[in-house]
Amino acid sequence: MPNKKIYLDYAATTPVDKEVLGEMLPYFSEKFGNAMSIHSFGQEALQAVDSARGKIADFFGCAPTEIVFTSGATESNNLTVKGVLKSYYSKAENRGKKPHIITSEFEHHCILDSCKAVEKDGLADVSYIKPGKDGVVKVSEIAKAIRPNTVLISIMYVNNEIGTVQPIGKIAKLVKKTNKNKMENEFKTVFHTDATQAVNYFDCDVERLGVDLLSMSAHKVYGPKGIGMLYVRKGTAIRKIQDGGDQEYKMRAGTHNVTGIVGFGKAIEILKKNMPDNTKKIQDLRDYLIGKVLGEIPNARLNGSKIRRSPNNANFSFRDIEGEGLLLSLDMEGIACSTGSACSSGALSPSHVLLSIGLKAEQAHGSLRMTLGKYTTKNEIDLAVKKLKIVAERLRKISGSVLADYYSKK
Ligand SMILES: Cc1ncc(COP(=O)(O)O)c(C=O)c1O
């Protein structure tokens, strides 16, 4: 393994910013109070939680009381799907009337699996919208899928594999229009976006977006792992799914992760300050990377729209190369990337995201996601592409003809 490793997997997680860590450290030791305790230790912790909540609310343009801290986007997304259904079924007139949910085929597994779970339990019917070949969900497809009993629409802001940006504002307008035509006592459609991959680069002001619910995780924005949030617009029909204490305005029981919350607040403060500069720098480097890979490696393609794309995301398919092999070979060269193919029960399953945008199984198997961050340098990109070229050539020599033969018989 080379001494200097290159990290190009910022969509998976980011390192904690040193300033964030500095802010967190006292809350592990001398300022260790439980934010729900009424003595001075507790009040000190509560003040830190409130201060972080204020910074986060300021970033998302909402009231501090609309921020519900969770353990991360997975929990926020589970709370969304299950909590909205819980609210629906809490009304006597809805018992025995199965509601409907709309989501897309290429959401993160925590939304897809939550939807599949409630479907399996007979609690809801779910429509999975197919995105276009460019990796963008069409608003007209959502409009077609809406039913009178649609209680929830959940569409991600930025796709985590291919980085494509979804028309959240337009979908919000559609939902508002639909709700306007509903009777006063009818259950209104709730609109949720999973903004986990968007927060670093895109406007997440909830008023401008027009969403009712928004999920994210702090570890994607140079904050700590195990802390995230669900923005809950005041008056949204959602109920808690976890019982216990009265924390988080009775929406999420459990002792506050004070250190995590403090770090989350600091990370958001830093993000806000540096967003324009970082976005430009990262996008320039990303475009440089895409140009080099497509220009220097034969039979490479960029997956997803080049324009409606997160500034840090490049996702390639390489003909006759299998993604997992590519990933492992690059790792041995000290380059950390990611692939959409997942190894389950010993068999490689192609990326559900790439299949959803119409790629063939062999293309979906050969994908490589390279995601940049605020610490990425041009030097790192040059070195990564140099290694990628060598590895791709080697893998094609070893397995190219075998794979081509295998897929031609399928
Ligand atoms: C779009 C999206 N949603 C949800 C998650 C889950 O986040 P966490 O694992 O922090 O709960 C991720 C993580 O990669 C993501 O990219």
Structure confidence by residue, pLDDT tens digits, 318-377: 988 988 889 999 999 999 999 876 654 455 678 899 999 999 887 888 789 999 999 999
Nearest-angstrom CA–CA distance, 161 and 158: 9
For the chain, report the end-to-end CA distance as a whole number of angstroms. Answer: 37
- The confidence score (pLDDT) of residue 408 equals 61
Asked if 68 contacts 229 with a C-beta cutoff of 8 angstroms, the reply is: yes
- The confidence score (pLDDT) of residue 363 equals 80
Instruction: Report how far ligand 1's centroid is from the alpha carbon of 223 (Å).
Output: 14
Residues with CB under 6 A from ligand 1: 72-74, 108, 110, 156, 160, 194, 196-197, 217, 219, 228
- The confidence score (pLDDT) of residue 243 equals 97
Instruction: Report how far ligand 1's centroid is from the alpha carbon of 280 (Å).
Output: 24
Which of 69, 159, 160 is the pocket-test mutation for ligand 1 (most atoms within 8 Å of CB)? 160
CA 402 to the chain's CA centroid: 35
Domain ranges of the chain: 6-13+275-409, 18-270
Tens digit of pLDDT at every position of the chain (410 positions)? 566 899 999 999 999 999 999 999 999 999 999 999 999 999 999 999 999 999 999 999 999 999 999 999 999 999 999 999 999 999 999 999 999 999 999 999 999 999 999 999 999 999 999 999 999 999 999 999 999 999 999 999 999 999 999 999 999 999 999 999 999 889 999 999 999 999 999 999 999 999 999 999 999 999 999 999 999 999 999 999 999 999 999 999 999 999 999 999 999 999 999 999 999 999 999 999 999 999 999 999 999 999 999 999 999 999 889 888 899 999 999 999 998 766 544 556 788 999 999 998 878 887 899 999 999 999 999 999 999 999 999 999 887 556 556 556 65
Q: Where are the beta strands (DSSP E) in 143-241?
A: 150-154, 190-194, 213-217, 228-232
Please identify which residue in the block is written with the tokens 């590519």: 326
- The confidence score (pLDDT) of residue 341 equals 62
CATH class of residue range 18-270: alpha beta
- The confidence score (pLDDT) of residue 48 equals 98
Cα–Cα distance list, 278 to 179, 287, 375, 383, 396 (Å): 38, 14, 9, 21, 36
Run of H or E including 389:
helix 378-395
104 in helix, strand or coil? strand
Instruction: Report how far ligand 1's centroid is from the alpha carbon of 110 (Å).
Output: 8
Asked if 399 contacts 386 with a C-beta cutoff of 8 angstroms, the reply is: no
User: The domain 6-13+275-409 belongs to what CATH superfamily?
Assistant: Aspartate Aminotransferase, domain 1 (3.90.1150.10)
Q: φ and ψ at 183, to 5 degrees?
A: -70, 160
Nearest-angstrom CA–CA distance, 196 and 221: 9
Please give the model's pTM, rounded to 2 decimal places: 0.95
Closest by Cα among 358, 361, 384, 360 to 371: 384
Nearest-angstrom CA–CA distance, 191 and 153: 5
Task: Please list the active-site residues.
Answer: 343
